[in-house]
Homo-oligomer: A and B are copies of this chain.
Amino acid sequence: MRREITGFSNPLLKEVRGLREKKLRKRAGLFLAEGLRIMTEARDAGFLPEMLFRVKDREVHALEIALEAAVLVAGGDVIETSAEIMAKLSGKDNTQALVGVYRDHATALEDIDRSQAPIWLVAQAMRDPGNLGTMLRTGDAVGAGGLILIDDCTDPFSVEAVRASMGAIFTQKVVQCRWDDFLTWLRKGEGQLVGTSLRTDIDYQSATYAAPCFILTGNEAQGLPADYEDECDLRVKMPMRGKADSLNAAIASAVMAYEVLNQFRRK
């Protein structure tokens, strides 16, 4: 249904603004995605918002018209409002003309078909939403099946993570689980678990990767716990020519993923 909100005190605004907080997202089972590019990406992947907020009285892109039509046909709401109210809704730092409210769609480990993709990214205790969203985006680029989040990671459905994912939150499967459950599931089928480590002499380019390849990246500050590394089928290291023996976690994961993809491309 198409309708309009004109007052700042409308209770729906408070509810939607609340989705910037993890607790309220969990309770509602909803999350926010902003901007036409990401929302079009979502639609292409089969996801429509339950509510679409839009600033009225401005020039409209053809993709936005298509998006709105799809939302209405699917029984969702298109809610028109002023730029001022939208700024309150979407945060002053990065006001968008479009904000969508989506049903969250985390996947259970058991519902993953590992044979669907040659690469899966796995992140352990990833704390930074920008890193997490970037990993989703990288996963999309390398043709990964999804991102498996181990232990206490930052929420993949936060506004910051969704933004950094550039829409990949909708194209990549997202799983949240504990390490033990992941290992048990992994060992029930095929799958090579690869971790980057400083405790190995195997260069990441001399190793041989096998699909489905699960690329495990540890926490930004601590890296992988030693006992997690021990469970890997393969521990490899990337060359480090600098003063600091480290890369940003999302960078390390991407460099690994492209190496694995490059090997698979040569086969």
Contact = CB atoms under 8 A, between A and B. Distances in A.
A151 interface: no
Interface string A136-160: 0111111100000000000000000
A62 interface: no
Contact of A44 (B41, B164, B166, B243): B243
Interface string A222-258: 0000000000000000111111101110110011001
Most buried by B among A140, A241, A248: A248
Chain A interface size band reads 35 or more
Nearest to A164: B248
A141 B240 contact: yes
A167 interface: yes
A55 interface: no
A10 to B, nearest CB: 31
A140 B244 contact: yes
A116 interface: no
Given A251-B138, A265-B239, A244 B168 contact: yes
Contact of A251 (B134, B261, B262): B134
A171 interface: yes
14 contacts: A134-B251, A137-B248, A137-B251, A138-B251, A140-B242, A141-B240, A141-B247, A142-B242, A143-B241, A171-B243, A205-B262, A239-B261, A239-B262, A239-B265
Given A166-B244, A255-B258, 6 more contacts: A134-B250, A137-B248, A140-B244, A142-B239, A239-B262, A255-B255
